[in-house]
Amino acid sequence: MAKITVIGSASIDLVVEAKRRPAIGETIMGESFKTVPGGKGANQAVAAARLGADVTMIGCIGDDAFGEQILSNLKANGVNTEYMEQIQQMESGTAHITLAEGDNSIIVVKGANQFVLPSLVEKALPILRKSQMVLIQQEIPEETVEYVSEICSTYSIPLLLNPAPARPVSKKVLQQAAYLTPNESEAAVLFGEAGISEAFKQYPNKLLVTEGSNGVRFYNGSEEIVVPGYKVEVVDTTGAGDTFNAGFAVAMSEGMRLEESIRFANRAASLSVTKFGAQGGMPIREEVEKKL
């Protein structure tokens, strides 16, 4: 069983469905409103657990009802929550999502996620050191990403940095990470529009740019390869990137080769968009294998 540790945000998604987005100053009527578990860290933890990994999540919740909901959802999905810390007098992280015109737009309020600090990760060092892969994203403080990157490099633990949401990342972290998985706009923030093809050459078999339903692009040392996505009926794209990251981490940790791992992760991500909610469509292992 692949041992994976996820360090990141755990939030509740407040999702409004509407026919279109309102213009500035305009009020429109929506179609529905739902609250579902989300947060890039928790999404990746749940996706990896459903795909059969032994997952530990390091993160923070507030002392509110959302916090309880986040925790019980992680537990229900078999994620080890020993290093989930409750922050007193603080609200849990929330993501305010509008689903309209076939895509989402999201405002994240960090809440307790801002307390996912190096000191919390330090407590979990024994479990971190036993991990076959560590996953981290950017809804938590930058200093934590830098600290984890240093730790993983010191102990030779493969680190997958999903640089989402976009913010600049130090050259040191880019070099220390084993895998970088930006989407196209995040890659532009990291390397500049013009710098992406150069970055592929600099990070062969490591920089994996996700291009939505088009698939995933990487450089194999001699040419750029696109591993195509799968065509499916899309209900909600929220969490597709998280499912990809989790699927890739699980497959690589189990010893699949790079391209095979991307294909496995693409399949998992394509299934995830066929249902509502970031975690609603995240597949279990058998569903992915059936289609592969």
**Binding window for ligand RIB (CB under 6 A); candidates: 17-25, 142-150, 200-208, 234-242:** 234-242
* CA 7 – CA 84 distance, rounded (Å): 10
C-alpha to C-alpha distances, 56 to 84, 241, 269, nearest whole angstrom: 9, 19, 21
Is there binding between residue 92 and ligand RIB (CB under 6 A)?
no
Angle formed by the axes of helices 240-253 and 258-272, to 10°?
150
Residue 49 is classified by DSSP as: H
Could you identify the residue written with the tokens 């026919």?
19
242 is an interface residue for ligand RIB by CB under 6 A? yes
215 touches ligand RIB (CB under 6 A)? no
Look up 103 and say whether it is catalytic: no
Q: Does an H or E element contain 50, and which?
A: helix 40-50
CB nearer to ligand RIB: pick between 39 and 111? 39
CB atoms within 10 A of CB 207: 23
Q: Per the structure block, which two tokens stand in for 157?
A: 């633990």
User: Does 113 participate in binding ligand RIB (rule CB under 6 A)?
Assistant: no
Q: Does 95 bind ligand RIB (CB under 6 A)?
A: yes
CA distance 17 to 30: 6
Residue 240 token pair: 């597709």
Q: How far is CA 52 from CA 3, 26, 93, 259, in A?
A: 10, 46, 27, 20
Residue 247 in contact with residue 181, Cβ under 8 Å? no
Q: How far is the CB of 96 from ligand RIB (least distance, A)?
A: 9
Binder to ligand RIB among 5, 7, 11, 237 (CB under 6 A)?
11
Inter-residue contact 249 to 157 (CB < 8 Å)? no
Given 13, 64, 236, 242, the catalytic residue: 242
Taking the complex as a whole, the smallest distance from the CB of residue 105 to ligand RIB amounts, in Å, to 11
CA distance 72 to 70: 6
Stretch that binds ligand RIB, among 114-122, 213-221, 238-246, 257-265 (CB under 6 A): 238-246
Q: Give the residue closest to ligand RIB by C-beta.
A: 38
Number of residues that bind ligand RIB (CB under 6 A): 15
Binding range to ligand RIB, per CB under 6 A, among 35-43, 61-69, 121-129, 207-215: 35-43
Q: Which residue from 199, 196, 206, 204 is spatially nearest to 223, judged by alpha carbons?
A: 204
Mask for 38-67, x = binds ligand RIB (CB under 6 A): xxx--x------------------------
Q: How far is the CB of 167 from ligand RIB (least distance, A)?
A: 14
Nearer residue to ligand RIB within complex by CB, 42 or 157: 42
Query: Which residues are annotated as catalytic?
Result: 242
The contact set with ligand RIB (CB under 6 A) reads 11, 13, 38-40, 43, 95, 106, 108, 139, 238-239, 241-242, 278
